[in-house]
């Protein structure tokens, strides 16, 4: 089995990159992807540790995109890691994220919430600051009782401490991923919150735009949703992919490889994705 969706402390996970292959190996995975938000700089350390353990480390990242249907998270696998068009765009996304974080800190101050930019950076370990870090500080200071509550009360889209940041459009993101030798996959598709018929339409459009897979077997989806999304993916000739979305202590219900205990993503998914790599120019 494999896990195609995990985060390290280079973004908003709590574990260092090297720990991801260790955890995956311990539960019996033969491959694991590291997919930090907007960055690839944990991949090398994780791959090196994976090599020692004899587990394949798939390089990747997760990028938030604008679509006609709302914000979508796009997973990118096998992309060039040291250069190339996606790498350049990721630097821009990191800049936008850091500008958002400064505005977010100002908003939190306005709201009287006790979280400074310095505390956010300390919580994140310096890089990859995101909303889960703010949520963890609010929990620690007793303002809310869980990360989930921090989102529901303050940080989720539409809540008082939500601060927008610019995103890539989906078409542009897909183009960048493919131009960097990568394979784009739609993460946790139910986050779009579309009615079944609209979701079908949206997925058809995404497939036409060059998306290669759909994350149907997602750590937090129950069996019926995984089955529905797997059928949807197959209808549109997309690879049925899966992963835990492990974030360590920031999503304490999820473990690498097994999610909440009922996740199994077969190893063949990785070869199916590999077969969708763009032809070399
Ligand atoms: P950011 O990239 O900083 O905007 O934050 C994105 C992170 O926040 C991802 O790890 C999401 O899983 C998490 N997140 C977004 N919305 C929610 C929510 N409503 N509840 C819990 N976590 C969320
Ligand atoms: Zn995250
Ligand atoms: Fe996501
Ligand atoms: Fe994720």
The answer, yes or no, to whether residue 21 has pLDDT greater than 90, is: yes
Task: Give the separation between CA 118 and CA 180, rounded to whole angstroms.
Answer: 34
Mean pLDDT computed over 3-29: 98
Closest CA to 55 of 86, 29, 81: 29
159 lines ligand 1 (CB under 6 A): no
Q: Are 222 and 114 in contact (CB under 8 A)?
A: no
pLDDT value, residue 123: 98
pLDDT tens digits along 95-150 = 999 999 999 999 999 999 999 999 999 999 999 999 999 999 999 999 999 999 99
Nearest CA to ligand 1 atom 1: 130
Task: Output the CA 56–ligand 3 centroid distance in Å.
Answer: 22
What integer best gives the mean pLDDT of the chain? Answer: 97
Output the residue whose Cα is nearest ligand 1's atom 23.
151
Which residues on neighbouring strands pair with residue 56, listed in sequence order? 31
* Mean of pLDDT values over 72-94: 96
The tens digit of pLDDT for each residue in 55-65 reads: 999 999 999 99
How far does residue 62's CA lie from ligand 3's centre (Å)? 7
For residue 5, what pLDDT band results from cuts at 50, 70 and 90?
very high
- The neighbouring-strand residues paired with 186 are 74, 214
Q: Which pLDDT does position 105 carry in this prediction?
A: 98
**What would the CATH number be for the domain defined by 2-90+166-274?**
3.20.20.140
39 Cβ inside 6 Å of ligand 1: no
Asked if the model's pLDDT at residue 281 lies above 70, the reply is no
Answer whether 230's CB lies under 8 Å from 217's CB: yes
pTM score, whole prediction: 0.97
User: For 151-161, what is the mean pLDDT?
Assistant: 97
User: How confident is the model over 211-228, as pLDDT tens digits?
Assistant: 999 999 999 999 999 999
Task: Tell me how far CA of residue 215 lies from CA of 113, 123, 171, 190, in angstroms.
Answer: 36, 29, 18, 10
Residue 26 near ligand 1, beta carbon < 6 Å: no
Are 206 and 233 contacting, i.e. CB atoms less than 8 angstroms apart? no
Check pocket membership of 62 for ligand 1, CB cut-off 6 A.
no
**280 CA to centre of ligand 2 in angstroms:** 31
Q: Is 218 in the pocket of ligand 1 (CB under 6 A)?
A: no
Residue 130 CB less than 6 A away from ligand 1: yes
Name the CATH topology of 94-155: DNA polymerase; domain 1 (1.10.150)
Q: What is the mean pLDDT of residues 26-37?
A: 98
Ligand 1, residues 131, 165, 246, 252: which to mutate, most atoms within 8 A of Cβ?
A: 131
Residues near ion ligand 4 (Cβ under 5 Å): 62, 245
pLDDT band with cut points at 50, 70 and 90 for residue 280: confident
CB 165 within 8 A of CB 96: yes
Q: Give residue limits of the domains in the chain.
A: 2-90+166-274, 94-155
pLDDT exceeds cutoff 90 at 30: yes
Residue nearest to atom 13 of ligand 1 (CA): 132
Q: How far apart are CA 280 and CA 278, in angstroms?
A: 6
Residue 228 Cα distances to 106, 185, 200, angstroms: 42, 17, 11
User: What does the pLDDT read at residue 78?
Assistant: 98
Closest ligand 1 atom number to CA of residue 7: 10
pLDDT tens for each residue of 158-177: 999 999 999 999 999 999 99
Separation of CA 153 from chain center? 22
Distances (CA, A) of 125 to 155, 172, 234, 247: 20, 31, 40, 14
Ligand 2 centroid to residue 210 C-alpha, Å: 24
Which tokens is 94 given?
């990191």
How far, in Å, CA of 257 to CA of 246, rounded?
8
Burial environment of residue 167 by CB neighbours within 10 A (0 to 12, 13 to 18, 19 or more): middle
Dist. CA 15 → ligand 2 center (Å): 12
- The verdict on the CB of residue 37 being under 6 Å from ligand 1 is yes
What's the pLDDT at 62?
98
For position 19, what pLDDT does the model report? 98
């Amino acid at each position: 089995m494999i896990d195609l969706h995990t985060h390290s402390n280079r973004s908003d996970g709590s574990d260092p990159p090297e720990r991801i292959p260790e955890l995956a190996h311990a539960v019996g995975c033969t491959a694991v992807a590291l997919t930090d938000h907007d960055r690839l700089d944990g991949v090398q350390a994780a791959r090196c540790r994976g090599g020692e353990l004899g587990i394949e480390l798939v390089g990747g990242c997760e990028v938030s995109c604008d679509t006609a249907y709302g914000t979508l998270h796009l997973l990118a696998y096998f992309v060039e890691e040291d250069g190339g068009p996606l790498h350049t765009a990721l630097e821009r996304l990191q800049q936008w994220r850091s500008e958002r974080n400064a505005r977010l800190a100002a908003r939190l101050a306005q709201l009287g919430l006790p979280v400074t930019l310095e505390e956010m950076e300390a919580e994140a370990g310096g890089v990859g600051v995101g909303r889960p870090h703010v949520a963890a500080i609010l929990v620690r200071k007793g303002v809310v009782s869980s990360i989930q509550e921090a989102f529901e009360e303050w940080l989720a889209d539409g809540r008082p401490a939500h601060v927008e940041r610019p995103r890539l459009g989906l078409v542009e993101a897909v183009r960048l991923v493919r131009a960097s030798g990568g394979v784009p996959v739609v993460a946790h598709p139910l986050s779009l919150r579309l009615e079944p018929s609209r979701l079908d339409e949206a997925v058809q459009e995404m497939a036409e735009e060059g998306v290669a897979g759909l994350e149907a077997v997602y750590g937090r989806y129950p069996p019926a949703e995984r089955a529905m999304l797997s059928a949807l993916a197959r209808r549109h000739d997309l690879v049925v992919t899966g992963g835990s979305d492990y974030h360590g202590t920031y999503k304490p219900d999820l473990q690498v490889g097994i999610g909440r205990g009922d996740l199994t993503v077969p190893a063949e998914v990785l070869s199916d994705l590999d077969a969708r790599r763009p032809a070399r120019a």
